[in-house]
Amino acid sequence: MSEWIVFFWSILPDLYKGALITVQLTLVGLGMGIVIGLPAALARVYGGKWVRRLAVGYIELFRGTPVLVQLFVVYFGFPDLGLTLSRLSAAYLALGLNSGSYQAEYFRGAIQAIGGGQMMAARAIGMSRLKAIRYIILPQALRLVIPPWSNEPIALMKASAVVFLIAVPDLMTKAKIIAAHTYNPIGTYMAVAVVYLILVFLLTAILHLVERHLRIPGLELEAQRK
Amino acid sequence: MTKTIVKVEDLSKQYGGQDVLKGISLTVNEGETVVIIGPSGTGKSTLLRCINLLTKADRGRIWLDDQEITTPDVDEDEVRSHIGMVFQDFLLFNHLTALGNVMVGLTKVLGMPRDEAESKAMEELARVGLGDNAEQYPGQLSGGQKQRVAIARALAMDPRVILFDEPTSALDPELIGEVLEVMGKLAHEGMTMLVVTHEMGFAREVADRIVFIEKGVVVEDGPPNDLFCRPRVERTREFLWKLTELYGKHEEEQADSD
């Protein structure tokens, strides 16, 4: 055990560099996912027939295929269409599109849970649909979505490990290199597992803080009151 | 001559092949409180929703002041900002404080500056007796308080008329009084109100006119005394008897406990 700790300590600087890329991939993928997913959810709930179909098409396509396939299509397939992306850009795009499809469904659930009554009340004081969405529906839906949505950053961070297959120097890629150099795959992958675990813990802690900070007084879930 | 605020002419609405409204005509004059009564499922709520354009009528016309609001080129959002609505289940905005609920229409719909909107909203909250609850969220208020905030929210927009859709039906009996009291006060202050309710005591004391609607048509329309004491239609007498029997009981109980 102490041997492994020494080993872990020695490879930590390299893992750290990889971890930074992993965090970067997670944050950018998540950000892109919000930018794509939220409009997709709104389109699915409030859109006309064709807008709604477009949103459903996007969501089902990207939830229904492996993220690895999406990554390969973006990185190896897009150049044939005249769009050559760097490894990192391809990784961002694939993860963002994939995450957006999942996030769209989290957002849709929350928007629908807020219900038509709030929209009706907002319209009744003269708000347009857009204003009602912006000032009444979303402020509530975005709070409500946090607990289920918290799955997404965690899932995305772990799923981002697939980018080692196009040699983006993330945590997993670093691990492969270190394992080959040190002839210690078990020690290395255990170390990587620990780093992922720490990152996920940090992420969870941040999400909890956000959730608590945004809580609406008097609207806590019943179970939390006790 | 009294000014007509709301005029409904030959309004019809179908839902899923069912005729909910079958040619309703109705007027509400300035400063009048008109109470609509009738069995459930006879289109009373639908009528209110048609009047503030939340639901589109199939046929018929509606005027607000002297402007027809059922023409295609009308700005529906603008029309709604002049018509207050109070719902059975309050529908307060849960992420906003009582003050925020009353302010949001002023700042986001009318574009009023924040400080001006705040003092106006505080005034309206005081008007419904909730000046001390401004910073509380809906989840921290009782049902009666919520409904009074909802009334303040409607009042803040300085509406031409306020529509009440069974405002006390979701309340515990001991909370009904505070809401009816506020509504009575508004009526005395000259607010124009159209109220769907089963509260016969309120209808009798506060209403200038009662409209009895059944199966999508106006059965009888007149001053409370006429409807209660000498209804023209037998069906009105029957219905009023039933309601008074049912709801009069708890009013008596309340009177005893006061």
Which of residues B158, B183, B209 is at a domain's end? B158
Residues B168 and B238 in one domain: yes
State residue B253's pLDDT score.
Answer: 54
B170 and B251 together in one domain: yes
Confidence of residue A222 (pLDDT cuts 50, 70, 90): very low
Last residue of a domain, one of B158, B174, B192: B158
B23 and B66 fall within a common domain: yes
Over the stretch B43-102, which tens digit does the pLDDT of each residue have? 899 999 999 999 999 999 999 998 999 999 999 999 999 999 999 999 999 999 999 999
Statement to judge: residues B249 and B175 lie in one domain? yes
Domain boundary among B140, B158, B176: B158
Query: A90: domain CATH number?
Result: 1.10.3720.10
Q: Pick A135's closest partner by Cβ from B52, B104, B139.
A: B104
CATH code for position B169: 3.40.50.300
In angstroms, the Cα distances linking A176 to A60, A123, A165, A186 are: 33, 57, 11, 11
Contact partners, residue A2, CB within 8 Å, separation at least 6: none
Give the closest-approach CA distance of B230 to chain A in angstroms: 37
Q: Is the pLDDT of residue A1 over 80?
A: no
Task: Tell me the C-alpha distance between B58 and B47, whole Å.
Answer: 12
Q: Are residues B169 and B128 in the same domain?
A: no
What is residue B243's predicted lDDT score, i.e. its pLDDT? Answer: 77
- Residue B1's pLDDT is 62
- Burial (Cβ within 10 Å: 0-12, 13-18, ≥19) of residue A130: exposed
Chain A residues in contact with B94 (beta carbon < 8 A): 118, 140, 216, 219
Same domain, B112 and B135: yes
β B4-15/B18-29 pair status: antiparallel
- For chain B, residues with pLDDT lower than 50 are 258
Among partner residues B81, B93, B139, which is closest to A126 by beta-carbon distance?
Answer: B81
Please state the domain count of chain A.
Answer: 1
Q: How many Å lie between the alpha carbon of B146 and the closest alpha carbon of chain A? A: 13
Domain that holds residue B140: 85-158
Residues B70 and B183 in one domain: yes
DSSP structural state of residue B230: S
Residue A190 has pLDDT above 70, yes or no: yes
Q: What is the pTM of this model?
A: 0.87
Residues of B within an 8 Å Cβ radius of A: 52, 54, 77-78, 80-85, 87, 89, 91-95, 104-105, 108-109, 136-141, 153-154, 157
pLDDT band at A224 (very low <50, low <70, confident <90, very high): very low
| Same domain, residue pair B172 and B206 | yes
Bridging pattern class, strands B217-222 and B209-214: antiparallel
Q: What is the pLDDT of residues B82-97, one digit of tens each?
A: 999 999 999 999 999 9
- Output the CA–CA distances (angstroms, integers) from residue A47 to A40, A53, B77, B86, in the order listed: 9, 9, 19, 28
The total domain count for chain B is 2
Please report, as a single letter, which amino acid is at residue B163: L
Phi, psi for residue B31 in degrees, rounded to 5: 80, 0
Tell if the CB–CB gap between A126 and B54 is shorter than 8 Å.
Answer: no
